[in-house]
Structure 1
Amino acid sequence: MADHKETATFKAAAAHSAAPDMARVEVVAPNMKKRLSGVTSTIIQLVPIQSQSLGIATIGPGLPQTLPRMRWWQVFSLLKRPRSGRRRIWHARRNPEMLAGVVLKSVFRAPLSLVFTSAGQRDHKRWTKFLIRQMDAVIATSRKSAAYLKVPHTVVMHGIDTDRFTPPADKAVAQKALGLDPSRHYVGCFGRVRHQKGTDLFVEAMIELLPARPDWTAVVTGRATAQNAEFEQKLKDRATAAGLADRILFKGEVDDITPWFGAMSLYIAPQRWEGFGLTPLEAMASGVPVVATDVGAFSELIVEGVTGNVIAREDLPAMVAKAGRFMDDDAMRQTAAEAALAHARANFPLRREVDGIRGVYDQVWAAQG
């Protein structure tokens, strides 16, 4: 573990975007994808906390300058051990990153230990299985993803920043700040607008639910890419045809999603497929109960009947029924909101994920003797 002086050095390097001192770097977190993704977001959230007690650096595109980032010319530094004498850990989260680690270790004889985090919930292809077998340790982000692994592994579930996602001091004030009417209740669905995310299921559920509930409004946030622009427009047209254009609000991509969670009274995650899925956690940490489909890790995040409900994928009648119960019962909704907040804070703080990953690192180092 880095001493306090070394930790301070890493913080300073991150703050000034200086090239890190590779003699102190014991973990490398590569990011081989420029476009923002769940993996990229995970690295952005974890590395600042990990760097408080560990020499860690990132490498690759699509990462903010505030992180401790290796320069490409520093790759040659990986051919020798850090000052601690331990093998550096190369922590991959995608196939290209696993392959890069294997090449560095097997071809260039870099003294590395390879760790892979798997979030996939499907039978891996032969190439992926081959790469996974080359790893020194494997982390699964959920029990579901672990079920598809044929090698020893450790489950470390994702966490969230519970200081950032927290109920607003005054919901009415928070709603006004977003241009919402504080006299109304809001049900949200956040994320990219596309078929996989089930945005159409949410809209259809709202078309059935809202007419009989005049004090409720639905909110959709998230970007629709060019190839999904027509899909989004059709949803807007459906809302207009149902006479609900002013009660099914499409807010597009917002700069900061955090306050939107706190402004909701109910959150729905209608995905058809998901690798893990953080939005139910972010909603619960904001004191909002959740109705979610049984995809990703949702069934492992939500306490059924306590913090919300999990329904079958694409089961629109169930979505309508479960959401309707929450919308109609203020007391039940409040009880679930309090339970959701307590559950998220107790079981899914980002620090717990950091500690779980560090435990895997320590096991790898201990195995080296």
Structure 2
Amino acid sequence: MDDIEVVAPNLKRRLSGVTSTIIQLVPVQARSLGVATLGPGLPGGLPHMRWWQLPSLFRRPHSRRPRIWHARRNVEMIAGLVLRRVLRAPLRLVFTSAAQRHHRPFTKWLIRRMDAVIATSARSGSFLEVPHTVVMHGVDLVKFHPATARDDTFAAAGLPGKFAIGCFGRIRHQKGTDLFVDAMLALLPRYPDWTAVITGRVTVENQAFQRELQQRIDAAGLTDRIRFLGEVPDVAVWYRRVTLYVAPSRNEGFGLTPLEAMASGTAVVASDAGAFAELVQPGHTGAVAPAGDGAALTNAIEAYVANPDLAQAHGRNGLEVVRETFPLEREARGVSEVYDQVWARG
């Protein structure tokens, strides 16, 4: 702990986009910075401080700089404030906001007490009422990459058709899974070379939602061509297998999946929820439709299923954009610059 200058708490057990960000970013930060995670639900390979090491936060590390407590949720801001203001730990507090909405009064009160605030996109920054720095998320270009082996091809999946359309993430109304299914029910009968694959967890409260979608698929006679795969061991390979990825969310925080698809050489059709409109370049790497507009989403998808060559060309363009603009290392540098500004103020 004497070498740890940044603590990245994850005070929520259930996997979320925030958890995924920590899992991807911390190993890159650790190459040049003493950083450790704290909390449940994280893989063992991350640098990790234990709960019994909390007393070490009351003394400075070897560098003599105050440690940074980098919060990404309200509960983590609260914990940081208790440690610093009540228990007098020598900490500086940084908060990353991905929210695409006006914050509640209590959240605003917490944010005003941070030493620095990071917004993950210009849109999320527009909802902040304090000075902030925009540092957009990056993507792991080692994990997410174009096809390199036979198992990366759609043929290896053993499903019908020549091309696949993917929609990955939790199965729920907020994520627009029903909008994707609606589009597939409309399009696939006219484009027999395509198959749709949907991956992701179905929580107990969303099982009825998923069952209703499956019943509609079965009634349309498309059971073999619109497939719910559940939680897959490695979603990265499915990004490589699909020719088109669809992100139909009604609302999002940031939303990493378009970047993961682009890093895999896959074209993207996305809603304008979250930061999607800041990630996808219409007519170059994909298309963007208004969130919740099923007809617009279907039309945007049809341009690609009618012309697979266009999808493949936009997939290649997306790969170039991600490699230049969204590598995970660039995000780590941007966050480190914020830390340096905090330390410069003492």
The reply to whether TM is greater than 0.5 is yes
Please tell me whether residue 306 in structure 1 is matched to residue 310 in structure 2.
Answer: no
Alpha-carbon deviation of 1:331? 3.1
Out of 156, 174, 178, the position equivalent to 1:177 is 156
Instruction: Answer with 209-218 or 170-179: which moved more.
Output: 170-179
Alpha-carbon deviation of 1:170? 5.0
Structure 1 residue runs of 5 or longer lacking an equivalent are: 1-21
Is the Cα–Cα contact under 8 Å of residues 7 and 37 in structure 2 kept in the other structure?
A: yes
Question: How many Å separate the matches in 1 of 2:320 and 2:333?
Answer: 20
Aligned partner of residue 67 in structure 1, secondary structure:
coil
Aligned partner of residue 186 in structure 1, secondary structure:
strand
Please tell me whether residue 359 in structure 1 is matched to residue 328 in structure 2.
Answer: no
Alpha-carbon deviation of 1:46? 1.2
Question: How many Å separate the matches in 1 of 2:26 and 2:3?
Answer: 15
Give 1:214's aligned residue.
192
Query: Structure 1 counterpart of 2:21, which letter?
Result: T
Question: How many Å separate the matches in 2 of 1:70 and 1:219?
Answer: 39
User: Cα deviations across residues 314-354 of structure 1 (Å, max 9, x unaligned)?
Assistant: 21111111111111123322221111111111111111111
Alpha-carbon deviation of 1:241? 0.9
Give 2:9's aligned residue.
30
Alpha-carbon deviation of 1:144? 0.7
Out of 141, 147, 153, the position equivalent to 2:126 is 147
User: Cα deviations across residues 133-181 of structure 1 (Å, max 9, x unaligned)?
Assistant: 1110000001111001111100011111112111102567632433335
Is the Cα–Cα contact under 8 Å of residues 9 and 69 in structure 2 kept in the other structure?
A: yes
User: Cα deviations across residues 118-142 of structure 1 (Å, max 9, x unaligned)?
Assistant: 0111111111111111110000001
Give 1:286's aligned residue.
264
User: Cα deviations across residues 201-249 of structure 1 (Å, max 9, x unaligned)?
Assistant: 1111011101111111111111111111111111111111111111111
RMSD: 1.3
Give 2:293's aligned residue.
315
Question: How many Å separate the matches in 2 of 1:122 and 1:245?
Answer: 38
TM-score w.r.t. the length of structure 1 is 0.91
Please tell me whether residue 237 in structure 1 is matched to residue 197 in structure 2.
Answer: no
Query: Structure 2 counterpart of 1:191, which letter?
Result: G
Please tell me whether residue 295 in structure 1 is matched to residue 273 in structure 2.
Answer: yes
Query: Structure 2 counterpart of 1:24, which letter?
Result: D
Q: 1:172 to 1:28 in 2, by over 3 A?
A: closer
Give 2:233's aligned residue.
255
User: Cα deviations across residues 177-212 of structure 1 (Å, max 9, x unaligned)?
Assistant: 33335x611111111111111111111101110111
Query: Structure 1 counterpart of 2:114, which letter?
Result: M
Is the Cα–Cα contact under 8 Å of residues 67 and 92 in structure 2 kept in the other structure?
A: yes
User: Percent same amino acid at aligned positions?
Assistant: 58
Aligned partner of residue 252 in structure 2, secondary structure:
coil
Question: How many Å separate the matches in 2 of 1:59 and 1:169?
Answer: 36
Out of 59, 62, 85, the position equivalent to 2:38 is 59
Out of 135, 143, 148, the position equivalent to 1:156 is 135
Alpha-carbon deviation of 1:257? 0.1
Question: How many Å separate the matches in 2 of 1:285 and 1:193?
Answer: 23
Out of 106, 118, 136, the position equivalent to 2:115 is 136
Question: How many Å separate the matches in 1 of 2:143 and 2:325?
Answer: 16
Aligned partner of residue 197 in structure 1, secondary structure:
coil
TM-score w.r.t. the length of structure 2 is 0.97
Question: How many Å separate the matches in 2 of 1:260 and 1:334?
Answer: 15
Please tell me whether residue 80 in structure 1 is matched to residue 59 in structure 2.
Answer: yes
Query: Structure 2 counterpart of 1:81, which letter?
Result: R
Q: 1:84 to 1:320 in 2, by over 3 A?
A: same
Is the Cα–Cα contact under 8 Å of residues 200 and 231 in structure 2 kept in the other structure?
A: yes
Question: How many Å separate the matches in 2 of 1:241 and 1:292?
Answer: 27
Give 2:244's aligned residue.
266
Query: Structure 2 counterpart of 1:78, which letter?
Result: L
User: Cα deviations across residues 4-28 of structure 1 (Å, max 9, x unaligned)?
Assistant: xxxxxxxxxxxxxxxxxx1111111
Question: How many Å separate the matches in 2 of 1:173 and 1:161?
Answer: 17
Question: How many Å separate the matches in 1 of 2:308 and 2:227?
Answer: 23
| Deviant stretches of 4+, over 4 Å | 170-173
Which structure has more RCO (C-alpha within 8 Å, separation ≥ 6)? 2
Q: 1:173 to 1:165 in 2, by over 3 A?
A: closer
Is the Cα–Cα contact under 8 Å of residues 171 and 262 in structure 1 kept in the other structure?
A: no
Query: Structure 1 counterpart of 2:333, which letter?
Result: D
Please tell me whether residue 115 in structure 1 is matched to residue 94 in structure 2.
Answer: yes
Query: Structure 2 counterpart of 1:328, which letter?
Result: A
Aligned partner of residue 332 in structure 2, secondary structure:
helix
